[in-house]
Amino acid sequence: MELSHKQIESLKEMLAQPRLRIVILSHTNPDGDAVGSSLAWAEVLRARGHEVTCVVPNKYPYFLDWMPGIEEVVVFKTDTEGRAVKAIAEADVLFCLDFNAVSRLEILSETIQGNTTARRVLIDHHLQPDEGFDIVFSHPESSSTCFLVYCLVEA
């Protein structure tokens, strides 16, 4: 599997901007790949000085509670403080991990559509990604989105 050099350069150029407000999103009924890739990517971006919020539409399985950083994940469905809505509205970049279409966010879709200025980046291993992303890393031949995140970190 080879990542697009052009897409990698676009990503590096975007992330070279100081202190971006970034939201990392994963699909409804998030699994280990969705949560693990999101948390790992969040750590990479924070280490580069960006402000990062991970948002999932609904609760992840309890057996993922051991993952470092899991306590920082905002669950949209139970977010009574409005942290998810605020982070998404103010985001400079929306990273979409482990899903190929915004519709996979279900209850969160409308909130995402409300931010028309944020750059959208897809990192995913599912077939047939939707259009509407500024940067796309879509590799169905990859075993997981976690592996794609690893490849991006190494690029």
Does some domain include residue 12? no
Does some domain include residue 7? no
Does some domain include residue 9? no
Q: Is the pLDDT of residue 127 over 80?
A: no
Does some domain include residue 5? no
Measured CA distances, 47 to 52, 63, 97 (Å): 10, 27, 19
CATH code of the domain covering residue 130 = 3.90.1640.10
Measured CA distances, 43 to 40, 49, 72, 102, 116 (Å): 5, 10, 11, 23, 26
Contacts of 55 (CB under 8 A, 6+ apart): 23, 24, 25, 73, 74, 75, 76, 84, 87, 88, 108
Longest dimension (CA), the chain: 42
Does some domain include residue 113? yes
Q: Which of 22, 43, 26, 44 is nearest to 35 (CA)?
A: 26
**Domain assignment of residue 108, given as a range:** 18-154
Say how many domains are in the chain. 1
Specify the residue for token string 């890393």.
137
**CA–CA separation, 105 and 112 (whole Å):** 9
Does some domain include residue 3? no
pTM for the model: 0.94
Residue-wise pLDDT tens digits, 87-105: 999 999 999 999 988 888 8
Stronger pLDDT, 116 or 145, i.e. the higher one: 145
Does some domain include residue 2? no
Does some domain include residue 13? no
pLDDT for position 24? 98
What percent of the chain has a predicted confidence (pLDDT) above 70?
Answer: 100
